[in-house]
Amino acid sequence: MMHRKPVFAANWKMNHGPTDARAFMHRFLALTPRQQDRTTIFFPSALTFATVAEAVKERLDLMIGVQNVHQEPQGAFTGENSVLMARDAGARVVLVGHSERRHVFGESDETTAKKCALVAEARLIPMLCVGETLEEREAGATASVVERQLSAGIAGLDDQQVGAMMIAYEPVWAIGTGRTATPEDASDIHGVIRQLLVARLDVRPAAGIPILYGGSVNRGNAPILLAASDVDGLLVGGASLDPDGWSSIVRS
Ligand code: 13P
């Protein structure tokens, strides 16, 4: 299997304005030496993006992304941010189809697919998020839901663009609940995702795509989840908000 650098991604959601972020980054950078063997990504809010970009500009091991973009490249969409703006501001990665976009804001597979294609066309990395609700899990539909979301997300991309993506498996019932998937559960679903990518791309290119786990990751469970097979990284919400805790996770 191709070697994949582990990816540690902080999704700050609607937390940390510029003032908090400046203090966070000051402390985080002091605690966290440069690490060439892993990739760390920050997803601050759009209003905080410039503050974080400024703080990481001399750290090539730290990447920055946005939490969402609109599905059109520009136009009369008051309140929205476009992928072109994200690229211009220095974003390298875009979260697409996060559980809260899907379930709080009603984003469909179709919208998610458009966003993935737009992000890939702009030569940024889509980090496509997939995951089942508790109801779907209890109905035994986990694999089929994840397959549906993934197939839709990659349908409009060519093979090279799919090969450059990142995927995050975040079971909805594990997000912000303190209830984490077991490493075995995560491995099972990551295996389903990997098989689908193999079917689309073949073994070698599919092996290079990082598949992150997200949902109530904390400093205690991070090393255990990361050791599970096919878990190539972590997408972290709550536990990425404190610089000491987040630094300890990215150094794990
Ligand atoms: P928590 O780590 O707070 O459960 O959030 C996970 C998540 O949604 C990251 O995108």
107-126: per-residue pLDDT in tens? 999 999 999 999 999 999 99
Using CB distances shorter than 6 Å, the residues near ligand 1 are 11, 98-99, 170, 175-176, 214-217, 235-239
Known catalytic membership, residue 98: yes
Task: From 13, 166, 167, give the residue whose CB has the most ligand 1 atoms within 8 Å, as the site to mutate.
Answer: 13
Which two three-digit tokens encode residue 4?
């994949």
The residue nearest atom 5 of ligand 1, judged by CA position, is 237
Catalytic residue from among 100, 107, 132, 170: 170
* Nearest to 112, CA basis, from 152, 79, 144: 152
* Nearest to 174, CA basis, from 150, 142, 211: 142
Task: From 66, 173, 175, give the residue whose CB has the most ligand 1 atoms within 8 Å, as the site to mutate.
Answer: 175
Known catalytic membership, residue 138: no
pLDDT digits (tens, 9 = 90+) for 197-240: 999 999 999 999 999 999 999 999 999 999 999 999 999 999 99
Ligand 1 centroid to residue 178 C-alpha, Å: 10
Q: Where are the beta strands (DSSP E) in the chain?
A: 7-11, 39-43, 62-66, 93-96, 125-130, 166-169, 211-214, 233-236
User: Rounded to an integer, what distance in angstroms lies between the CA atom of residue 54 and that of residue 59?
Assistant: 10
Confidence (pTM): 0.97
Residue percentage of the chain with pLDDT more than 70: 99
Checking if the pLDDT of 9 tops 60, the result is yes
Ligand 1 centroid to residue 75 C-alpha, Å: 31
Ligand 1 centroid to residue 76 C-alpha, Å: 31
- The type of residue at 156 is G
How does residue 3 score in pLDDT terms, banded at 50, 70 and 90? low
Residue percentage of the chain with pLDDT more than 90: 98
User: Rounded to an integer, what distance in angstroms lies between the CA atom of residue 83 and that of residue 66?
Assistant: 9
How does residue 4 score in pLDDT terms, banded at 50, 70 and 90? confident
